[in-house]
Amino acid sequence: MNLLALYAFSVKIHRKPLPTDILLLNLTVSDLLFLITLPLKMHEAVSGMEWNLPALMCSITSFIFFSTIYTSSLLLMAVSVVRYMAVAFPVTYHKLNKPLYPVIASAVIWIISAVHCSITFFVQHHPSLASANSSVCYENFTEKQLEVLLPVRLEMFFVLCLFPLVISIYCYLHLIVILYSRQRISWMQKKKAVGMALES
């Protein structure tokens, strides 16, 4: 399904790219990368949560697993903002309706997620933090590791989880209010738009 979505968005972008198409293409790539890590996570679960693969593979898997989750969260926020601007500020939206802006936004989102999730390498491989227990993957942290990891995870919660959630809810709620307040839009069109907003 994701491969079909990737093909569809790729074709659409080559014809006439819209900001949401570029963001959704990046979201599809993020989802595909996430799916690639699932067999390794399943292997870990089957092995009783013991990591019997190379230690570097654990860091790479954890990095991709978490960074794609946060990337998807930020991309969904970006899609909600674009949709909100298209309805609430159509003039501004048309002025900014250029492929360059969503490409830059997508690149920034990928970088933000990658920088934050590089902690998976730092915690496990830094000489002063590395744990002797290599039988588990990104689990059972030492006191030194937690001193670094807990503040970073707290910051990640606010920046990569809570903030995108609040922005997305704000955009879609206001989008629904705006659509319902416009008399020219038929009831069926309003219902369809609200359904799309709720599915997002």
3-state secondary structure 6-25: HHHHHHHHHHCCCHHHHHHH
**Is residue 177 domain-resident?**
no
- Our measurement of the distance from residue 31's CA atom to the centroid of its chain's CA atoms, rounded to an integer in Å, reads 8
Please tell me what DSSP assigns to residue 48. T
Find the domain containing 148 and state its range.
2-160
**Is residue 173 domain-resident?**
no
- Angle among Cα 147, 111, 36 to the nearest 5 degrees reads 90
**Is residue 185 domain-resident?**
no
**CATH code at position 140:** 1.20.1070.10
**Is residue 198 domain-resident?**
no
- CA-based nearest residue to 178, from 116, 93, 75: 93
Q: Which ranges of the chain have pLDDT less than 70?
A: 1-14, 127-134, 183-200
**Is residue 155 domain-resident?**
yes
The whole-number pLDDT of residue 81 equals 95
Q: What is the pLDDT of residues 43-81, one digit of tens each?
A: 888 888 888 888 889 889 999 999 999 999 999 999 999
Intra-chain end-to-end CA distance of the chain, in Å: 17
**Is residue 188 domain-resident?**
no
Instruction: Report the number of distinct structural domains present in the chain.
Output: 1
- Angle among Cα 11, 168, 35 to the nearest 5 degrees reads 50
Q: Are 20 and 82 in contact (CB under 8 A)?
A: yes
Q: What CA–CA distance (Å, rounded) separates 130 from 34? A: 26
The whole-number pLDDT of residue 199 equals 58
The whole-number pLDDT of residue 4 equals 67
**Is residue 81 domain-resident?**
yes
47 backbone dihedrals φ, ψ, rounded to 5°? -85, 15
CA dihedral 121, 126, 131, 137 (to 10 degrees): 10
- Please tell me whether residue 106 adopts helix, strand or coil conformation: helix
Q: Are 69 and 107 in contact (CB under 8 A)?
A: no
**Is residue 199 domain-resident?**
no
Question: Which two structure tokens, joined as six digits, stand for 142?
Answer: 């030492």
> Which amino acid is present at 176?
I
